[in-house]
Chains A and B, each alone.
Chain A
Amino acid sequence: MSANATNVTRVEHAVTRAVERVTRQALGPYQTAVVRIGFALTWLLFLLREFPHRHELYGPDSPWSRGLAEQLLQLNDAFTVLMWSDSDAFFEIVYGLAVLASLALMLGWRTRTMSVLFMIGVLSLQNRSVFMGDGGDNVIHLVAIYLVLTRCGQVWSLDARRRARTAPDAPPRDAVGVWLWSVLGFGLLAATLLGHLSWGWALIFYGLWLAQAVWWMVQRLWPGEPRTVCDQLANLVHNAGLLIIMVQVVFVYATAGWYKVQGTLWQDGTALHYPLHLDYFTPWPALSDTLGGSGTMVMIITYGTVIVQVAFPFTLFNRRIKNVLLALMIIEHASIAVILGLPFFSLAMIAADAVFLPTVFLMWIGGWTVAGRDRLIGRRRRAAEPAALKAPRQSAPADVESGTPLR
């Protein structure tokens, strides 16, 4: 009897602890932040690079014309706001907003809202012209959706900086946020009234929109338990999102690796030779020739690629080996960027890999970046100071006498 009771309590405690573990903290603050920055940066650079080609890729008069896109969308039900209007101005606005949302998400300005806008931008452009994309677009598409679930602005964001400046228990006085929320609510209502939203997407967008309002209200009006519950819910969803991103990356490597194992060319160690000679993927033929010139080298890289991809999921259970493999994968992707001419694909994959980087390393990078920034700003300030002192001397010499001492 008493043994039974102990068992029940033990199970109870185990469940309680498990619940607490996934609700008390939003895990991996640095990892989710680096994923956010990496993907937002990749998509931002891509949009800027394709700016001259934006009409051909996604515009109303693209070879994949509006009419063609409409017919395919009827078959696959993908989401894109670009079908809402056929005007050029509307397209330009959507493209512009996609650029701005990427920039804001990268900086972590109103992070959650921007993650939703970022997702809308990615889905709208990519689903408008599915046949323009490649593997890089695919991984950006997925992570853009997953990021909405996460609290990816906990660190390295303007939001975090703003939070650090206000008192921890003071109710948020975020006029800009309220204004942003209202404008988006108006847009959402307009889209609904014009009949552009499917039931599913309406549910998602209104849910997200209302969640923002609820979060704002519990912070101001019910700072006690309701706030704690909401905070824990957000942690819970964040942790699920983080897990999904991690497993998604594992799926990418596991699939890429296990399907390669079956290929005869990966088995005989010559697979790498072929992509190095495809016209579409050899921007630097001399470089490709050099790399492909040695049979031993080709064999080592061919085998290495398969081994790393197949092994990676299992090494996650050993921190040290995982980090070694992670470094190898990042190096391989950086090489692919140059050799196969796939910089955006590679950058997206590196951003995805970064979810597995150790916190210490990320913090070291962060500290190093901040130090670099300070040194840069400090140097500029020092350079600017004499000029600043000189200026008043010419206009109002009297001020200099009583002015601040030189440092």
Chain B
Amino acid sequence: MESRAPDESGISGAEESPGRLSLPAQIFMALAVAVVLGFTAWHLATVFLYVSPPNTVSKQHKETIDGYVLPEFEQNWKLFAPNPLQQNIDVQARAEVQKKDGSTEQTPWVNLSAQDAEAIKHNPAPSHTEQNELRRAWDYFINSHDEKNRPNGVRGELSEQYLKRIVMLRFGPVLNDGKVQSIQLRAEVTPLAAPDWSADKRSTQSSYRQLGWWQVTTADLQKGDRETWSSWEGSGQ
């Protein structure tokens, strides 16, 4: 309370306020204020340009802005914007497994996203492993690949290995009494129906985006699964 009084009594009061700094200290503080204000302004302006739509200034200084904001100040607040997602994306996988007798067999498609949805249902606090892991891994794949599922650069390749490891974590090394040799992924994209009262009568027909077969290697397996997986091969001979 007493610290506030001099401020409200005006300029003369401020001058008489106790704890007045010496001139060098005053100059130092003024410089500190300038530096901190400058940095604050820089930070806020840069972050603003990062979250705003691409514009004259942000296009000109894209490298500086990204260089400062990424990775630690990265942000994406286009929550459900400009339009919310209007489709359920079910990531599904199947495997080609080698039986003990040496024959190979293809498993039916397994809907991994449906397993996530089942885990989320009636769960007040779904885990990131259920709500984000596969969903975001697929997003990452789509964003780092072209229409023909070809990776664009290192990030694309990383996303393929990531998806493989997620699928193999869920399948395990042995499926349907056979060693998992290769896997294939697809996404079943089902548009959500427009609400009943809407004039918009969109089709809810599912479409598929199917990837090629991927060979499984030990790198795609959990450490604990590698032994089981490798030794399976020997016993088959």
Q: Is the CB of B81 within 8 A of A295?
A: no
Cβ contacts under 8 Å, A16 to chain B: 14
Q: Counting CB contacts under 8 A, is B117 at the interface?
A: yes
> Per a CB cutoff under 8 Å, which of A53, A244, A280 touches B117?
A280
Interface residue? B40 (CB, 8 A): yes
User: For window 1-47 of chain B, which residues contact chain A by CB distance below 8 Å?
Assistant: 3, 7, 11, 14, 17, 19, 21-22, 25, 28-30, 32-33, 36-37, 39-40, 43-44, 47
Select B83's contact among A20, A265, A279, beta carbons within 8 Å.
A265
Assess whether B212 is interfacial by the CB under 8 Å rule.
no
A385 at the B interface (CB under 8 A): no
Can you list 11 A-B contacts with CB-CB less than 8 angstroms, sorted by A residue number? A16-B14, A64-B165, A68-B161, A237-B36, A240-B39, A256-B79, A264-B82, A277-B88, A278-B85, A278-B88, A341-B120
What separation, in Å, do the CA atoms of A290 and B6 have in the docked complex? Answer: 59
A344 touches B125 (CB 8 A): yes
Q: Report A21 CB to chain B, min CB distance, Å.
A: 7
Query: How far, in whole Å, are A247 and B123 apart by their CA atoms in the complex?
Result: 34
Binary CB contact string for chain A from 13 to 26 against chain B (1 if under 8 A, 0 otherwise):
10111111111110
Q: Find chain B residues with CB under 8 A from A252 CB.
A: 75, 77
A262 to B113, CA, bound (A): 30
Q: Which of A61, A63, A145, A268 contacts B133 (CB 8 A)?
A: A63
Verify A63–B113 contact, CB threshold 8 A: no
Q: Find out whether the CB atom of B33 lies under 8 angstroms from the CB atom of A23.
A: yes
Partner of B165, one of A19, A65, A278: A65
Stretch of B55-63, B176-184, B193-201 on the interface side? B193-201
Closest Cβ of chain A: how far from B160's Cβ, in Å? 10
**B-binding residues in A (CB < 8 A):** 13, 15-25, 49-50, 53, 56-57, 61, 63-65, 67-68, 71-72, 75-79, 123, 127, 131-135, 138, 141-142, 145, 225, 228-229, 232-233, 236-237, 240, 243-244, 247-248, 251-256, 259-260, 262-266, 268, 270-271, 273-275, 277-285, 292, 295, 298, 338, 341-344
Report how far A75 CA is from B158 CA in the complex, Å.
12
Which positions in B face A, CB cutoff 8 Å? 3, 7, 11, 14, 17, 19, 21-22, 25, 28-30, 32-33, 36-37, 39-40, 43-44, 47-48, 51-52, 70-86, 88, 90, 113-114, 116-117, 120-129, 131-133, 135-137, 140, 154-155, 158, 161-162, 165-166, 169, 192-198, 200, 219, 222-224
Known A22-B33, A76-B71, A259-B82; contact A284-B122, beta-carbon cutoff 8 A: yes
Q: Is the pair B72, A233 in contact by a Cβ cutoff of 8 Å?
A: no
A306 nearest CB neighbor, chain B only:
B81
Q: Are A53 and B83 in contact (CB under 8 A)?
A: no
Chain A residues, Cβ within 8 Å of B47:
248, 251
Which are the 5 A-B pairs with shortest beta-carbon distances?
A263-B82, A259-B81, A255-B77, A78-B71, A295-B197
